[in-house]
Amino acid sequence: MKAEYERLKKDIAYHSHKYYVLDNPEITDSEYDKMMRRLLEIEKEHPQWVTPDSPSQKVGGTVLSEFKQVTHQVKMESLQDAFDEKELMEFDERVKSVISDGVGYCVEHKIDGLSVSLEYRNSVFQRGSTRGDGTVGEDVTENLKTIMSIPLKLNVNVEYLEVRGEVFISKKNFEKINTQREEDGEAPFANPRNMAAGSLRQLNSAIAAKRGLDIFVFNIQQIEGVEIKTHIEAMRFLRDAGFKVIMNDTVFDSMEDAIKRVREIGDERQNLPFDIDGAVIKVNNLSQRQILGSTAKTPRWAIAYKYPAEKKQTVIREITVQVGRTGVLTPNARFDTVSLAGTFVSRATLHNMDYIRERGIKIGDTVTVFKAGDIIPEVLCVDFDKRDGTEKEFVMPSVCPVCSSPVTRDEGEAAYRCTGVDCPAQLERSITHFVSRDAMDIEGMGPAIVSQLLEKGHIRNFADIYYLSKDVISSMDKMGDKSADNLLAAIEKSKSNDLPKLIFALGIRHIGLGSAKLICKKLKTIDAFFTVDVRTLTSIDDIGETMAKSIIQYFAQDHVREIIDRIKDAGVNTEYLSDESSGTKLSGMTFVLTGTLPTLGRKEASDLIEKNGGKVTGSVSKKTTMVVAGEEAGSKLDKAKSLGIPVIDEGELMNLVK
């Protein structure tokens, strides 16, 4: 058995390399899975045989309470950016002003991902860490082990090796995961880079393992026992060692030739299976790099050329209106199909009437479109010179295009809203929200299932969910007996949720999960929502008159009482259960969350703050103690700075509750 085990380790490592690194598999997925299952069986029987380089270490499952800090012996520098070819020629002049001998350049794709360090001792993977601020990063070894293209043991003998690489998610995998998240009622990731960063910084490595992360290694940071003189030589060494590298063996003797390669990469970027945000030009000779050195932030021997966002002209053929969960009517432009950032695009949101008026958009206009962040289609501007007089003004409909109820626009708001209580368009999105994770958290009841149940008349409101039978659920597409049992179990489990989740799930305008918790703590039961007045609600901290009126108007509707009564009859909890926090470290403090945090979801961060006695609100005011900001933080961050309110990141929040 020991001999079989050792043979399995070698065979699995070999076939993993062929599949994940060389993209040239020799066996089927089922054959590979069979070998892996047998390996896990043997390791379960003989756990003492498991070594750090076992393929089983890529399955994930280790759960950490926090990430340890790692100080980088070699600083992980960022690159100087160039936005036109003139800047590349200026870079060439600076290099040659220091290096009198001939200079050769390498040109590589600049992968749009998360930079990491990988350390090997005696050819075995020891530790992996994020770039962090370049000097101090975080130990994410367990998550990096789950990346199939990272070798746990090298094919070459080396005493010590530290390499730098870029963790990313392929375009195909990004679309697949986002589709699944939408079906599960979860918010999709904004772009592949955010998904890769969030996945790599999961405290549970099993979650990282499911995301299908990948890596390209692009630099040797440190090496002992092997002498390497050029970058091309280093990349060949790393490729032979078992790493996935992205390289072109060509060394360009002039910057003009290097720029030609930069243009070629720009032309092919849309057809690549992964995202890039530029091309990198590097000095090939390593001794010349040492002479050139670095500034305080960037190396003087490399520069990153950033490609401009691709823009195309097209013609708007019509403007349609979509009705959202809260009744908001959103205009959408439908235009002649164009290819942008690797995909065909034929529509883009126009957000609201203010957006349309500011840009002077009309039906029939020739417009310039692009993808914001290479992801979301946007209409940039109108080419007024191409107007011929046939263009038509767009007018927001006076009645809902779905249910024909009157459309209104509140004073001071950009949004137009459908007033129909039973509008089918609102209903589908409302129920999808009702079952989502932050609301009633009914796992397995994604948008596709909700749509089918509505279409076939099995549900007409929230309460109907709790009266679904197994026969009905199993009759849905892609829902067998086991899936039906799992969904029924999830529905049953949701009955024990605390009252704030139910209030948030109802989708009351202006009421988020944080404000729902504050109100429920005061009112205690859902019955109290039917009789509460504005004065009582506004006496609660952070609950204003607009929110109070929204609650009263919602619960004044006759059909709401009927739905709530049916929900109660089904056994759903309608009382406030949790009145105590487990800590007081944040007592008296009010927080606002903005942007995408590295590891914590919005709900997890809110729960953490409230568990430690703090409060979370949706808007920044003078009463706000701190703002917790992540990537792509918006106007809340700007307002915090203008008011002089302290801004912290996730790490500082974690330190506050330690």
Question: Rounded to an integer, what distance in angstroms lies between the CA atom of residue 112 and that of residue 168?
Answer: 7
Q: Which amino acid is at 212?
A: G
Q: Would you tell me the crossing angle of helices 447-455 and 424-434 to the nearest 10 degrees?
A: 140
Query: Residue 580 is encoded by which pair of tokens?
Result: 């105590």
Query: Residue 154 is encoded by which pair of tokens?
Result: 């090298």
Task: Report which secondary-structure segment, H or E, holds 323.
Answer: strand 311-323
> Are 128 and 137 a contacting pair, CB within 8 Å?
no
Question: Rounded to an integer, what distance in angstroms lies between the CA atom of residue 479 and that of residue 472?
Answer: 10
Which is nearest to 116 in space by CA: 158, 145, 157? 145
Residue 47 CB-density burial (10 A; 0-12 exposed, 13-18 middle, 19+ buried):
exposed
Question: Rounded to an integer, what distance in angstroms lies between the CA atom of residue 398 and that of residue 224?
Answer: 73
- Return all residues near 558 (Cβ < 8 A) that are at least 6 apart: none
> Are 184 and 443 a contacting pair, CB within 8 Å?
yes
Query: Residue 174 is encoded by which pair of tokens?
Result: 């990004």
Residue 99 CB-density burial (10 A; 0-12 exposed, 13-18 middle, 19+ buried):
middle
What are the percentages of helix, strand and coil residues in the chain, rounded to 5?
A: 40, 20, 40
Task: Specify the residue for token string 């699995």.
Answer: 12
Which is nearest to 352 in space by CA: 324, 376, 380, 332? 332
In eight-state DSSP terms, residue 221 is: E
Residue of 2, 18, 58, 110 with catalytic role: 110
Torsion of CA 521, 602, 449, 517, to 10 degrees: 0
Question: Rounded to an integer, what distance in angstroms lies between the CA atom of residue 639 and that of residue 625?
Answer: 13
Question: Rounded to an integer, what distance in angstroms lies between the CA atom of residue 346 and that of residue 316?
Answer: 9
Phi, psi of 239 (to 5 degrees): -65, -45
- CA 106 from chain centre, in angstroms, equals 32
The gap between the terminal CA atoms of the chain, to the nearest Å, is 47
Alpha helices in 99-223 (DSSP H): 141-145, 171-183, 192-200, 205-210
Active site (annotated) includes residue 110:
yes
Which is nearest to 87 in space by CA: 285, 279, 249? 279
Torsion of CA 527, 528, 529, 535, to 10 degrees: 170
Which residues carry out catalysis? 110
